[in-house]
Amino acid sequence: MSDRYQGFVQSPLGRVLVKNLGLPDPVRLDRYTAGEPLVDGVVGLGGRGRLAGPLPEILDGLGIASTDASGGPGDTTFRGLVLDATGLTSASDLVALRDFFTPLMRSLTTCARLVVLGTPPELCHGPERVAQRALEGFTRSLGKEVGRGGTSQLAYVAEGAEGAVASTLAFLLSPKSAYVSGQVVRVGATGTTSPGQVEDWLRPLAGRTALVTGASRGIGEQIARVLHRDGATVVGIDVPQAASELQELMAELGGDHLTLDITGKDAPQRIAHHLQEKHGGVDVVVHNAGITRDKKLANMAASSSGDRWTSVLDVNLVAPERITRELLDQKVVHANGRIVGVASIAGIAGNAGQTNYATSKAGVIGLVDALAGELPDGITVNAVAPGFIETKMTAAVPFATREVGRRLNAMSQGGQPVDVAETIAWFANPASTAVDGNVVRVCGQMMLGA
């Protein structure tokens, strides 16, 4: 559904009203197009920590131009900025944040990308832990200040994982992270600190198989399309009622499909058997299928006509947990595999009338917490937590509620299904082996709960 307000503010009259009345001013976000450079412009670098040395070479390997920006902007306009703050070991060192960013803020392009690199506070001690934890407040606030479609992120990189940040920088500095801002990512804090290998950054999933549940439409369809773009053979799953749409999409993508109810007693076994027999296993598992059955808790008593509580929990949480366990127990997930859950901002901040849905989505985050760092053979588990995403479901939301959902974030607009898909593709990347146990919110940095 198109955002008519966003179109209006780009008109001459709209520009006048935005300026004079202080109305939200949503910028049209840059999004990635296959085959284009990851970053169309120059990234300015600063800081003197343990990542300062390898950073230029890492970015060069991604085809991203960079320059030392610690002396100020000069005549350069920056598409992105990266500050290595791993060397900040006390509260007094935090002045380096201001000293680097302040002179450069007026030299940023539209939809600029700002990234701070730190050390996971839980791996630090004393004054260093204090300083590193302070980075979170800085980057979240910066995301709400940068404006014009810009984003700000914090990537905590564990010692020894310096060589494993390429996939994360490729995502955070590129238009692939268009609707992701104010997020804290950990690289190497759980599990391995070793970098994964990618032969072709344009098709990092070539030769790999990806399972996507709820794949026939909406966010699931876009996940399938993006993983296919990145080279994967996609196996889509959906309910029998969506069989025709699923078959059509998988035929277009050259993929495979399986129609079943994921809450069925034998669903995990059927999925495992299909993946093993037809594809020799699976490399990427995306638990996208989900439902809502909204009602305030006082009105959610069990009934013979349908249990709103149980049905939502079964689809959104119990089924992904059962399927994951079966695939792991049967060793269907290949070494260096990826398991990705789709949570929700509701599972973090809560939402009136969605106690069932929020419980299920918080449980998805719990599944990540339970498995992170415990899986064998370099298998990782992460989750995305979408905010207001423009889908057929949100298009049916009453107008006033929909407009609040769109504007109540730092970008003053709703996200697109592809924004969720791009985040999942980053998790799925073979080079993201050290990205484990993360829950990243794809919400434009919501003002509440983010």
Residues known to be catalytic: 357
Residue 197, SS3 per DSSP: coil
Q: How many residues are recorded in the chain?
A: 450
**What is the DSSP secondary structure assignment for residue 49, as one 8-state letter?**
S
Neighbouring C-alpha atoms within 13 Å toward the C-beta of 169: 31
Cβ atoms of residues 109 and 73 within 8 Å? no
CB 264 within 8 A of CB 245: no
Residue 333: both structure tokens together: 């997930």
Q: Are strands 65-68 and 256-259 parallel, antiparallel or unpaired?
A: unpaired
Please say whether the beta carbons of 315 and 291 come within 8 A: yes
Q: Which two tokens stand for residue 118?
A: 């730190």
With helix as H, strand as E and coil as C, how does 124-150 read? CCHHHHHHHHHHHHHHHHHHHHCCCCC
Q: Is 144 exposed, middle or buried (0-12, 13-18, 19+ CB in 10 A)?
A: middle
Determine the Cα–Cα distance for residues 250 and 216; give it in Å rounded to an integer: 9
Strand 380-386 versus strand 439-442 pairing type:
parallel
Q: H/E element holding 247?
A: helix 243-253
- At residue 298, φ and ψ (nearest 5 deg) are -60, -20
DSSP 329-378: HTT-EEEEEEEEEE--THHHH--TT-HHHHHHHHHHHHHHHHHTTT-STT
- The three-state DSSP-derived secondary structure of 253-299 is HCCEEEECCCCCCCHHHHHHHHHHHHHCCEEEEEECCCCCCCCCHHH
